[in-house]
Structure 1
């Protein structure tokens, strides 16, 4: 029925202008998805060659909008955006983008859909603080510390996610009038001493060592009251590193083709590899600089299959009741409406469209019919006005 709101959702369409015509030569990409080109295949490629594969993307020049080689069609809906309010009823929206060569329905670029949303059925109400609890004891047994007291957000308690303004605790300084002991702490480690040998043996066995030390003076432990001495060792040893071995730096072998053309239609890639074995790095030598793979594009000059795609649905037919000889206009009699669509653009070796070409639904023929209104139940009584004062 015209003017009806489907499933309680308010639908709205917002359209943007279509893009300008493509140039003849530009940048060819192996993939096109989610409205973006991916994996550059080649530059200065004729558009006709690039679009032998309808799954590719095409860009007339760097920085220009990227378009799919397919005929224009609407993208999937984006996820629903956030609700416009944090409590009670608001709205959220999502959009579709026209992608591909040519124009989508209406010759425009983008459309929007909105729906009602509600994150919470109620809005937050602030609470009130209880009285402060008594102060706690001092947090330390010597020198200065703090005392703490707390209160609770219960008078009244907040409603629907509300809270109380301010903090639920307070602290104040306190002094025990007692001196605390000073515990020892290690100073920084000194420099490593020389190695016990000038080279490292290749066979298994003891390795050359070097030593460093530290002093318990940051600070030293107090005598009265007595503090704890530093824990742990005043020195440590480690094996020497970097003793001479001649490094051998790696070198690349010749490039070798590792795969044929990646596609049997349209444009693809040929991969080449090389090994870091001429010579291989050893004894701490540097590995080979640069990449071990590279690719260049290949053109089969063979068009790729094009799968069929559904056209837009045509308008719903007039609501009628099949086999019923009377007129159901403005009658509470269930009828039927139908609409159809066409599978377009399929090449002989492409896939057929998935799904049905026809859509049938139940309806009532109530367009511009006069219907008698009916009162709802009375709402609750409002507050008395005025709220105070003498009776007349």
Structure 2
């Protein structure tokens, strides 16, 4: 039987003192980029090297320095169909620049599938109420402006004349209606000045018998 007190001390010696070859180090996976319809998780992957066994320092090398295949930094996740949901596009331009208008947008019922594709569905497949596809815009008042109405009467009662296009200064309300304001509120330089020719019946000339009567009357006065 061996006496423990006479046991020789355990001898240790270093072996394989050469630095370890470069190897891949991977970080923790990120959260999934989507809750359904296939998302992605990412992580950091780097080729590292420890100069010596006793060193706590790690050097980052080029990917080519690691001999083994590089682990994937990306992984698919949550690969199942999403429930149908509303997809809204951007609002279009307002129908008016002032005085109250409307702008529209496209609202569609869509579903993202597990393979990443998107399926367009009838509106009845989406459970909630459809978002508004129209809204008011440009509610500010418009500045007063000239509005043309009717042409004036011909400037003559017979023969050839002219007509002028009448214009009034009006202001637009938020509901789209108009009311007439004083002409001083509109720029005189912007007032329409359109004219057009007009032609009425021919003017009547004096009858020959009328001229003869005048001549005879003149002679009677002179001779008297």
- TM (norm. structure 2) is 0.32
Higher relative contact order (CA 8 A, sep 6+): 2
Q: Which has the larger radius of gyration?
A: 2
Bigger proportion of residues as helix: 2
